[in-house]
Structure 1
Amino acid sequence: MHTVRLLLATTRYDETVIEKRFHAISHIHNVIVKHAQKRLKRLSYDAEYQSLKAEYKKLLKKDTLSIEEKTRRKLISRQMAEIIRTHSLSEYAFQSYIKVCGKQFRKCLSSQQIQKEATRVWKGVEAVLYGNGKELHFKKYRDFHTICGKTNTNGAKFQKESCSIQWLGLNIKCKLPKDQDYLLEALDSEISYCEMARKMFPNGWHYYVVVYLKGDAPHKIKAVGRDDVAGIDIGTSTVACVSSRSVTLQELAPKCREYNQKIERLLRRMDRSKRILNPNKYRADGTIEPANHEKWKFSKAYRKNQNRLKSLYRQKAAYVKQSHEETINRLLHESVCFIVEDMSFTGLQREKKTTERRDQVSEIRQKDGSAKKIHKYKRRKRFGKSITDRAPASFVTILEQKAKLYGGNVSKVSTKEYKASQYDHAKDQYIKTDLSVREKIIAGHKVQRDLYSAFLLRNSNQKLNKPDQKKCIYEFDRFVKLQDQLIEKMKENNISMKQCFGF
């Protein structure tokens, strides 16, 4: 399946009606969330369910299970699922519940659009019941960006002939791009369903229709590398790729800092405005006074800045996605088959659980002027901000989609088993090095750490559990030559990132 997004040529009347419909979908969503919260709370009071859940967790923690224990675990799972159904916790139960509430909005929203919103809430409930979700949350009106359907015959209907959208009394034409060749080719497929979307700009909401079509998207890249396998070492801020003909080392989304600076300036401006208009809501030390329950006051300028802030976040997300796609398109010219490490970026975002002191002694001055030597605490923070800015997991997802589209694939290896950052093919042993060390000496040659990891991934054995030493020895001289040429070129062009590249 592929999608085509088109900007709608809306009038002021169209925008007013669409906004009412977004208000309606936000109300329906939160009604279902409230209902789901009640059902989950009742489930938490069910003694039988809680005892079964505790027993199921104990069985999950065991490394090996006997045949009786496996049978018992399956039985417990079925019993828990039956109890969940008796508490009306299912996708179809939510759709049935919201049917009555949805009748008052039948002029705004179709039955399938209301059902789709119930399905979205159910996905959140599934995360609470079976995943790592903790609780359901209500959503603000400004956080609703899409109204989705199920088919192209109910609710929003896209007309190919007139390139317009018909949606319960609204007939809105789409603005077409100058280059329509790709668009026409992409639309030459059967339509599955349509989704109405809105995006915030400094001058307000802009409205789009997203058409979901069956089949693969047309190919934009005409020539791709098919006879080679490339290794990719993806980090929190950088990506390194090694193929037989070229090597690549670059920063992910390098301009995201510019967006961060704009966002920080705007947030400070908004905070000053809020403090000026609400002096009673703050204590003398600047923290919020929880005892004050007066309504917050916001100026017109603050409301405009809210739109600007949301627009900046949208621009930043769009830039990161575009930057990833441009990088991946360049990599596809070299190969469509890639080997990457299966990284857990959510784990890297979390803080360390333990607090440790530094080995280095620090000297601090006390109030009386005397000096005191202490071991400061190590920072518990890790890579949360970097991962939020660079979105490396999104890079891997887009790489998988595009490689599959062009007939390739992305093979993932276990990080703990493969240990590409520790292996030395010349000595055929694993040598653990500190993360701050960005260069290594391998067989008398200085190699960049990320590029060497990508080189090892490319020269993996058939089981994808260890680098193939013979392949590495055979390919190493060519890799070193390509690496030295790349680093020399990057230094000439003043492309530097000391903490990640090492230069």
Structure 2
Amino acid sequence: MAKAKTPSYVLTLRLKTELYQEDILFKRFELARNIHNACLGELSKRYGALKQSRRYRTVYKMEKGKERNRLFSELNNEFGLAEYSLHEFVKPMQHQFKKNIDAFTSQKIATRAFNAFEKLMFKQGKKVHFKKHGEMYSVEGKSNATGIRYMDGNVLWNGLVLPTIIKKNDVYAKLALKDKIKFVRIKREWTKNKFVYYAQLVLEGVPPKKYNDKGMKDKSPDQKRVGIDIGTSTVAVCSETKVILTELAPNVAQLDKKIRNIQRSLDRSKRATNPLKYKEDGTINKSNKDKWIYSKRYMKKKAQLKELQRLNRVKRKQDHETLSNTILSLGNIIFVETMSFKGLQRRAIETTVNEKGKFNKKKRFGRTIGNRAPSMLLEILERKLKYIDRSLNKVNTALIKASQYNHFTNSYEKKRLHERWIDFGFCKIQRDLYSAFLLMNCKNNLTEIDRDRCNQSFEQFRSMHDLEIERLKLKEKTPVSMGV
């Protein structure tokens, strides 16, 4: 019988490590990487043997349904493509490294490899990626009873005692540690040319509420409606008391130019030191099997790039966490459109020509989405709403058509991407904010917009809209997509 799933959250604490402990941890992470890669290699062999069998080809041609799924499940078990069969495979390997890797940690590594390979089996990915030297960034246990565990302010793992750093005034951490610890994860990050180690305690329950300056707990979000129109680089938010039009992860843009310059510098250096590895047209010559040569300056630049990318990740997550808290302070009944950001990242398939007779670029929003991570904001909101037994209300985009709908005329009018304002005759409204307003007034069936609610709240929305536009006009620079 499967275990009942309970809500959980993560508390991250910095580990105070000595130099000799860092050496031991580095060795253990590399052993974990080798076990992970060995599991992926074994699964690839088993999957290859499965695909060559006649029974697999027969079942593959069957009509999709419960019977086909049952036969596939039997084949997977027969050929060892199951999580627990991988646990048996990893057992003798772990025995060789028992001084460094315990049994439960090795099983979690095997489970992690199986979950990655399962995506390939279910056609959710094209291939699995083996981890290179230094690319294993976390290991975890199965419970806080054995293996990697937390006890009395220390993380214990096979003879290593790693103290955690908790500040005296960190009330949140002290409250969180009162909850039951499910399991412990040791994570490392490359920071300023060295690995820094952290303990991530996965705790049962919901995060404790933070205290304000008066020593009282912060209030829970009100039962109010909020509409979110999220784009590739901006987001519009409309509530009953406030509207917001802002950039997604604004602090990321400060480092984006530096990252691009270093990437170009790395490419030039690599081409200069490896001329035979490239063809005349500039593409990589795959027939050349010589080793790549990297200069000392290249390695220094690569370390700089790694640090900037880490800072970008931190800034992006911090911006999203702050914005999500702002949105939740406006209300907890949140309406958003369902969007395929992966589809927006892909290159266009068809070749098109613009009005001037020139070919349009096939590149779309890959870099922008990679930098701004709009789906991450929605994931953070979803996670925080679960703590209060709620979830995002994802409206039917095909039926709602918020960017085309006019609630005054109850009609749809397709607009071009560069048209950022809607002229109603008596006023002009920014397009993204109007879409957020319509989403806020969506019916509970998530397939229609409530016109009566729109008519009742439009004047209040209009006054809040004008205030937000005035605020944006005072800023030195705003994204072109806002149209301000």
TM class by shorter chain equals over 0.9
- 1:197-236 to structure 2, matched below 5 A, reads 197-220=187-210, 222-236=218-232
The 2-side partners of 1:231 and 1:89 are apart by 44
CA distances 1:330-361 after superposition (whole Å, capped 9, x unpaired): 12221122111111111211122222222x13
Deviation for aligned residue 1:132: 1.6
- 1:26-105 to structure 2, matched below 5 A, reads 26-56=33-63, 59=64, 73-105=65-97
The 2-side partners of 1:307 and 1:218 are apart by 38
Aligned position for 1:66: none
Deviation for aligned residue 1:87: 1.1
Letter in 2 for 1:122: F
Decide whether the 8 Å contact of 2:251 with 2:319 is kept in 1. no
The 2-side partners of 1:464 and 1:278 are apart by 57
Decide whether the 8 Å contact of 2:182 with 2:202 is kept in 1. yes
- 1:360-379 to structure 2, matched below 5 A, reads 360-361=355-356, 375-379=357-361
Which of 407, 422, 440 is 2:404 aligned to?
Answer: 422
Deviation for aligned residue 1:146: 0.1
Which of 466, 470, 473 is 1:484 aligned to?
Answer: 466
Identify which range, 243-252 or 335-344, moves more after superposition: 335-344
CA distances 1:83-127 after superposition (whole Å, capped 9, x unpaired): 122111000111111111121111111111111111111112221
Aligned position for 2:309: 313
Q: Structure 2-normalised TM-score? A: 0.93
Q: Structure 1-normalised TM-score? A: 0.89
CA distances 1:281-329 after superposition (whole Å, capped 9, x unpaired): 4456655444433322334443343333222222111111100111111
Whether 1:338 aligns to 2:334 is yes
Aligned position for 2:372: 390
Decide whether the 8 Å contact of 2:30 with 2:134 is kept in 1. no
Which of 226, 245, 249 is 1:249 aligned to?
Answer: 245
5+ residue gaps, structure 1, are 60-72, 362-374
Letter in 1 for 2:37: N
Whether 1:434 aligns to 2:416 is yes
Letter in 2 for 1:236: T
Aligned length: 471
Aligned position for 1:400: 382
CA distances 1:367-426 after superposition (whole Å, capped 9, x unpaired): xxxxxxxx2222222221111111111100101112232454321111112111111000
- 1:11-22 to structure 2, matched below 5 A, reads 11-22=18-29
Decide whether the 8 Å contact of 1:149 with 1:193 is kept in 2. yes
The 2-side partners of 1:391 and 1:427 are apart by 35
Letter in 2 for 1:196: I
5+ residue gaps, structure 2, are 1-7, 212-217
Which of 290, 312, 320 is 1:324 aligned to?
Answer: 320
Which of 263, 267, 270 is 1:267 aligned to?
Answer: 263
Letter in 2 for 1:25: A
The 1-side partners of 2:275 and 2:269 are apart by 10
Aligned position for 1:23: 30
- 1:431-470 to structure 2, matched below 5 A, reads 431-442=413-424, 444-470=426-452
- Please state whether the residue corresponding to 2:311 is helix, strand or coil: helix
Aligned position for 1:117: 109
Aligned position for 2:3: none
The 2-side partners of 1:231 and 1:171 are apart by 49
Q: Provide the identity percentage.
A: 35
Aligned position for 1:475: 457
- 1:171-186 to structure 2, matched below 5 A, reads 171-177=161-167, 179-186=169-176
The 2-side partners of 1:442 and 1:150 are apart by 60
The 1-side partners of 2:21 and 2:297 are apart by 26
Deviation for aligned residue 1:167: 1.0
Deviation for aligned residue 1:276: 4.6
Whether 1:148 aligns to 2:155 is no
Deviation for aligned residue 1:55: 2.8
